[in-house]
Amino acid sequence: MTVESVKPESSGTTAPQEPPLAGGGVPLLGHGWKLARGPLAFLEQLRDHGDVVRLRLGPKTVYAVTAPELTGELALSPDYIISGPLWESLESLLGKEGVATANGPLHRRQRRTIQPAFRLDAIPAYGPVMEEEAYALVERWSRGEVLDATAEGFRVAVRISARCLMRGTYMDARSERITSALATLFAGMYQRMVLPLGPLYRVPIPANREFNRALADLHRLVDEIIAERRGSGQKPDDLLTALLEAKDENGDPIGEQEIHDQVVAILTPGSETAGSVVMSLLHVLTEHPDQVDKIRAEVKNVVGDRRVAFGDVRKLRHTANVVVETMRLYPAVWILTRRAVTDTELGGYRIPAGADIVYSPYAVQRDPRSFERNEEFDPDRWLPGHSAPVPKYAMSPFGVGNRKCPSDHFSMAELTLIAAVVASAFRFEPAPGSDHRTHIGITLRPRRLRLRALPG
């Protein structure tokens, strides 16, 4: 069955219908308990109930979109904005004035400010830092210690984003502090999203105190970074300078709060997402030693015996396909939400103004209607002409439309380089205590991956 064949008749003359209610709800909690207990399996089976389905989360009705083409329509339509539980929980971290949470004209202006730093032709300038950081991993791991993939993944992602986008040697020391603050914050954010217990998070128990300390430290760090850059009188060609020089729609400098929120909104989503993909990549290389061999052979062929350089990345096709296939099966961003700003329709179904809508890149990217051997890890499926064409929007780990991740090229370059460098140096095996089961938080990643890096 193709995706097209299950698409419902779309509007025109037919009045939009109420989407079907997903099965399996229970009194009071509705589908909330299933979403809390096993969100991935729950979101995946929703496709059996329809292309758009209604869920009950306690007293609230939420709409889930399961068909790839409708997730694209949702992301591209002006009838929906960034909002809903995911974003509300992130606002306490990201602020309301940063690009990831703003909407409307403010968001458009902010995208214009940050976009040049992520343009395809801007990426090669980041090459030396990406190379340095990828080789720093290999040098550290060569000491033979068991490596903690969670810490390593975060560290390299934070360091690359911070050093590339907010240049300066001061970043080297700070990126360790950012890493540690973010690890605490992301764990706490997810809990606050799925268990919105409001005032209870203000009770001064150790977990809340630790969360608040990490939040305060992150904001302090960002203020320090901004103050130091201003104090230096320097204006290197980077994202921080672009933010400090940005003007609002009247041509006036943007406010301090907006500068602060923008720095947080760029550093934090970038670190958590790219860090999670590094962790999943290490898991994949451990599970599939044949892929380590294939990457090595490709690197040998393209690069020879010298170090892998940033300039080699676009020739490392198989290595890039390993990264893409990793993101298909383990998308860091596994759930996204939107809110309808008007009474509207999607795929012939009625969506009322104010409704929260969720969709899951995880479920869409594992849909057997879109991918042959949908659960199988097969980077070769991305070779031209190798498999049936993938339906539009069925593979969108960076999102779609005006909220699409600005960092898609940046991240692909970084991840491909890391995959090439680490697979050329090591094979991996799980160390005692390693647990590769999926951890579901704000992002998706292996739970507690502890690996031994074996040279040769």
| Site for ligand HEM, rule CB under 6 A | 75, 82, 99-100, 111, 161, 165, 265-266, 269-270, 273-274, 277, 332-333, 336, 397-399, 403, 405-407, 410-411
Minimum distance between the CB of residue 1 and ligand HEM, rounded to whole angstroms?
A: 27
CB 282 within 8 A of CB 255: no
Residue 454, classed as helix, strand or coil, is: strand
Annotated binding site: 405
- Cβ nearer to ligand HEM, comparing 20 with 104: 104
Residues comprising the binding site for heme? 405
CA 178 from centroid of its chain's CA atoms? 18
Output the smallest distance, CB 345 to ligand HEM, in A: 20
First to last CA, the chain: 45
- By beta-carbon proximity to ligand HEM, the closer residue of 49 and 117 is 117
Instruction: State the DSSP H helix or E strand holding residue 52, giving kind and residue range, or none if neither.
Output: strand 52-57
Q: Supply the minimum distance, in Å, between the C-beta of residue 196 and ligand HEM.
A: 20
Rg of the chain (C-alpha set): 22
- What HEC string does the chain produce? CCHHHHCCCCCCCCCCECCCECCCCECCCECHHHHHHCHHHHHHHHHHCCCEEEEEECCEEEEEECCHHHHHHHHHCCCEECCCHHHHHHHHHHCCCCCCCCCHHHHHHHHHHHHHHHCHHHHHHHHHHHHHHHHHHHHHHCCCCCEEHHHHHHHHHHHHHHHHHCCCCHHHHHHHHHHHHHHHHHHHHHHHHHCCCHHHHHCCCHHHHHHHHHHHHHHHHHHHHHHHHHHHCCCCCCHHHHHHHCECCCCCECCHHHHHHHHHHHHHHHHHHHHHHHHHHHHHHHHCHHHHHHHHHHHHHHHCCCCCCHHHHHHCHHHHHHHHHHHHHCCCCCCEEEEECCCEEECCEEECCCCEEEECHHHHHCCCCCCCCCCCCCHHHHCCCCCCCCCCCCCCCCCCHHHCCCCHHHHHHHHHHHHHHHHHHEEEEECCCCEEEEEECCCEEEEECEEEEEEC
- Least distance from ligand HEM to the Cβ atom of residue 382, Å: 16
**Which residue number, 288 or 404, has a Cβ lying nearer to ligand HEM?**
404
Residue type, 237: D
Comparing CB distances to ligand HEM, the nearer of 49 and 80 is 80
Q: Which is nearer to ligand HEM, 35 or 162 (CB)?
A: 162
d(CA 211, CA 47): 37
Q: 211 vs 393, which CB is nearer to ligand HEM?
A: 393
Q: Which is nearer to ligand HEM, 109 or 296 (CB)?
A: 109
For the stretch 288-301, what's the b/e string if a residue is b when 16 or more beta carbons lie within 10 angstroms of its beta carbon?
Answer: beebbebbbebbee
CB 28 to ligand HEM: min, Å:
30
* Least Cβ distance, residue 304 to ligand HEM (angstroms): 28
Which position's Cβ is nearest ligand HEM?
270
Nearest to ligand HEM of 99, 364 (CB atom): 99
In the complex, minimum distance from the CB of residue 358 to ligand HEM, in angstroms, rounded to a whole number: 11
Quick one: how far is CA 215 from the chain centroid?
A: 20
CB of 277 to ligand HEM, least distance (A): 4
Question: Distance between CA 145 and CA 202 in Å, rounded?
Answer: 39
Between residues 398 and 426, which has the closer beta carbon with respect to ligand HEM? 398
As measured in angstroms, the least distance from the Cβ of 220 to ligand HEM is 20
Residue among 16 and 422 whose Cβ is closer to ligand HEM: 422
